[in-house]
Structure 1
Amino acid sequence: MDGEPQSTDDAVSALVDRYGRAIGSFLLRRGADPCEVEDMKQEIFAALVRRSDVHTIDNIEGYLFRTANNILVDRSRRALRRPVLVTGETFDGIPAAVDEISPERIALGRERYRLFVDTLQEMPERQRTIIVLSRIEEFSGREIALQLGISLSLVEKEMHNGLKFLKARLS
């Protein structure tokens, strides 16, 4: 954000434009109810607006995705406290199995997410940007090449190396 300092509202609006789609995808991939994704995104960015120090956050991307993850966890906890109503059965009359989100599973998920974000931060900036644009924002290789002003073959090379790095660290 070069030039004159932006107001908090302008800064948040720019962040909504930049990360809104990626956060929506992030939430859906982690099991958020599609009907609630827009509300959850508003909650994430409202948390950012409430902060008076938006311009001092060093890793805004990490902050946004951690906030998204925290909101998912909070909603999961609230859902666990509500009674579960079984409304459907399988074709043979046996109720469908429910995959419960236990506190241990939540803790493991948080740890894996933290490790993923830390590993992303260790990558060179261009490689990290390509991984985020491809895997989180769901851009195609051509779109990434155009946005970054680099060749498609360089995007593919950086993607390959970045995924190899992530696999080595997260396996």
Structure 2
Amino acid sequence: MSAETAKLDLVERAIHRYDAAVRGFLRWKMGVDEDEVQDAMQETYERLLRYRHSEWAELPRALVMRIAASVVIDRARHRASRHAGLHVSVDDFDLESGEATPERRVLAQEDVALVREAIRDMPGRCREVFVLSRIKGMSYQEIADQLSISVKAVEKNISRALILCRHRVREQRQ
């Protein structure tokens, strides 16, 4: 048996001898997430390999447990620095953008063009009332006063204009 094999046997014996103690310690410190415990055990054993060139006949239990404790501390620091406790899985959320898709933008542009056409094709008074209301933002009373018509006439012209706009858009979509 070569010296190198004997040194690796030293680490293997320590792993075999202290496996249950290390596993129990890590579960106690880290919780019962078996994947986390397994990862921490792997890291502990990797760190033990640094001692394969030591002159000890056996690796002391205190050393193995101290390495395991260091792994726990390092992992806790790593999680804290990454704010791991605040992370939330994106699978639980609907991540739909509030921005319109390119298809919706094109449809909206087409609709605007159709509404512009419909406004151009409206009878004069209907178009005038609609523009004052929807484009200039005037109230029905202000429009009635400006055009010397009743508020009821303004309402009828707005209703007629909206119907014409809807029909124009529906016709093109069919």
TM-score, normalised by the number of residues in structure 1 = 0.42
Structure holding more helix per residue: 2
Structure (1 or 2) with the larger CA radius of gyration: 2
TM-score, normalised by the number of residues in structure 2 = 0.41
